[in-house]
Structure 1
Amino acid sequence: MVMAHNPKIQEALDARDALASAITRAGVQLPAMDVRTPWAADADEDEEREGDARYALVHLGVCSASVAVLLADVIVRGLTS
């Protein structure tokens, strides 16, 4: 369970939402964007307390080849604008 009261997790949630909004406005939709924290197996037992993540990652999930091409096109158009 993701605990949003942690500043690092909140930062990742805000980044995910901003990215989702931007790519949606550009006509692209990634099917599964999420926020993930380190797995318990990757952290010391003392460090892995609920809501006490040292960092969080925006997980973009998987997408079809056509969605990947659309996303690449949006990025390139932004670079040439």
Structure 2
Amino acid sequence: MTATERRKEAAGRVRAAEDAVARLRAGLAGVGVKLPSLRVDPVSCAASEPTPLVDLGRCSVETAMRLSVQLEAAAAHDS
């Protein structure tokens, strides 16, 4: 694989991570939850061949409780 191909592949992985963050942010907003620190982890993108990670970050106890209520409701719906 050439250097150009590796760069394109790496850029694709970063774009996929950015898309995942956007979808997660939109999905959470749809149920009234906002994770203020949600982002692509910049350190995981810094390598020559990045393996991006989604950083869910930190949130308030109130936000954590709203998120758990939504997850519990979804789990009960799926049962």
TM-score in same-fold range (> 0.5): yes
* Structure with higher helix content: 2
Q: Unpaired runs of 5+ in structure 1?
A: 41-47
Structure 2 residues not aligned, in runs of 5+:
1-9
Match in the other structure for 1:66: 62
Q: Which residue of 2 aligns with 1:43?
A: none
Q: Distance in 1 between matches of 2:57 and 2:26?
A: 16
Identity value in percent: 27
Structure 2 residue 30 is matched with structure 1 residue 25: yes
Give 1:59 shift.
Answer: 0.7
Comparing both chains, which one has the higher relative contact order based on Cα–Cα distances under 8 Å and sequence gaps of 6 or more?
A: 1
Shift of 1:39: 7.0
User: Structure 1 pair 17/39, CA: closer, same or farther in 2 (3 Å)?
Assistant: closer
CA deviation profile, 1:17-36 (whole Å, cap 9, x unmatched): 11100110101111121102
Name the SS of the counterpart of 1:56 in structure 2. Answer: coil
Residue from 14, 36, 40 that aligns with 1:35: 40
Deviations along 1:46-71, one digit per CA (max 9) or x if unpaired, are: xx33xx41x10111111011110110
- The 4+ residue runs of structure 1 with deviation greater than 6 A are none
